[in-house]
Amino acid sequence: MISADVPDIIIGRLPVYLRALNLLLEEGREIIASQELADKLGISSAQIRKDLSHFGEFGKQGTGYEIKYLREQLRKILKVDRELDVALVGAGDLGHAIAHHGNFDRNGFHIVAVFDHNPQKIGANMGRFQILGSESMPTVIQEMGIQLAIIAVPADSAQQVADILIKAGVRAILSYAPITLNVPSKVRVQYIDPVVHLQRMTYYL
């Protein structure tokens, strides 16, 4: 039985567990104890067991976790046991890097449309993509039923882009823009800002 209200911090650790399990399977491992998994991740075994207990019982005392089974359960919980279409907004240097990042496809996240507002880029090819004009975002996103989007535009454009995406039906946004977006409570946003992470680390220098 999955708990109705699982803290977001726990949800945030599940992909870390999933990544570790994928690597273990690549190594040919079949079983792992919670303590060994904890040592690999720098998280206490008690924390791992507590996190997983929100979603059911996955291991056996004295035996550990069956890696393949646990991986499949986590994929279902995170809803990544399916192929997911993603829209990318921004065809600059960052957008190019994101579009050619192989890990997205390998993990079931398929960028299917790339948008930009620059007339000099619209219609040009970016790898396997033809860059679409930003004015076509609402129509394309609705027609393709896209619910996930990545924003890779400057801060002064990010809120406007987010508003258009949300109105078109996008429910989750990964934003590289260095700004906090104002979105409805039903829309999930995750931020990637390297400067913020560097500033967090410099505290410990």
Of 1-5, 6-10, 152-156, the poorest mean pLDDT is in: 1-5
Structural element, H or E, at residue 110:
strand 109-116
pLDDT in tens, 176-204: 999 999 999 999 999 999 998 899 999 99
Using a 10 angstrom Cβ sphere, with 0-12 exposed, 13-18 middle and 19 or more buried, the burial of residue 84 is middle
pLDDT in tens, 128-174: 899 999 999 999 999 999 999 999 999 999 999 999 999 999 999 99
Between CA 82 and CA 66 the distance in angstroms is: 21
**Residue at token pair 């997205």:** 104
Classify 145 as helix, strand or coil.
Answer: coil
Q: What structural domains and CATH numbers belong to the chain?
A: 8-77 (1.10.10.10), 84-197 (3.40.50.720)
Between CA 67 and CA 21 the distance in angstroms is: 6
Report pLDDT for 4: 54
